[in-house]
């Protein structure tokens, strides 16, 4: 198995943003935001050896109420272009890094999947019991997810790197 990286919602080829953190080898899987969900599911369902799972700002919305999720979906459905422009600004915050070059249009179904995904403690434990180490990278100034709640959730299953002055793309 070659090292695998999974991109975030409405992004592609942004892997270079995390190059200082990504461990390149045959037994590591990594992903950013929505891609962290995909990376986790890939590692969980792989029949091949996975030594390390790296989750960069994993999409973590299970702490949000149903109204928040409905509103996000409604805004996207009403004006996906404006939604995505605002999304790109929010993932860059607090840096002035321009992520628009990584933009790839995604659909309503992908947004719904990431907003409604539930991280399952039993699945995380199953992966740990197979010998996979999990690393979670979070920015304290993240405008996309509640990084404090994500930290609280993942701390029992992983090594959490909480970067106080960084945002969603782990830049300050």
Nearest to 92 by CA among 17, 163, 20, 30: 17
Whole-model pTM?
0.96
CA dihedral 54, 59, 63, 65 (to 10 degrees): -170
pLDDT, tens digit (0-9, with 9 covering 90-100), for 88-104: 999 999 999 999 999 99
Find all residues with CB under 8 Å of 105, minimum gap 6, and list them: 10, 80, 84
Q: Domains of the chain (ranges plus CATH)?
A: 4-163 (3.40.50.1820)
pLDDT, tens digit (0-9, with 9 covering 90-100), for 99-128: 999 999 999 999 999 999 999 999 999 999
């Amino acid at each position: 198995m070659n090292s695998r990286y999974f991109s975030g919602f409405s992004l592609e080829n942004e892997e270079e943003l995390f190059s200082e953190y990504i461990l390149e080898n045959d037994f590591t899987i990594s992903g950013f935001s929505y891609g962290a969900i995909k990376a986790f599911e890939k590692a969980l369902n792989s029949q091949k050896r996975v030594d390390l799972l790296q989750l960069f700002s994993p999409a973590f919305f299970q702490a949000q109420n149903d109204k928040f999720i409905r509103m996000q979906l409604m805004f996207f459905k009403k004006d996906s272009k404006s939604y995505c422009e605002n999304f790109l600004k929010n993932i860059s915050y607090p840096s002035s890094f321009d992520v628009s070059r990584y933009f790839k249009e995604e659909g309503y179904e992908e947004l719904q999947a990431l907003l409604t995904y539930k991280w399952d403690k039993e699945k995380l434990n199953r992966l740990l019991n197979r010998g996979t180490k999990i690393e979670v990278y979070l920015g304290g100034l993240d405008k996309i997810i509640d990084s404090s709640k994500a930290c609280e959730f993942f701390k029992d299953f992983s090594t959490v790197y909480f970067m106080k002055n960084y945002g969603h793309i782990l830049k300050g």
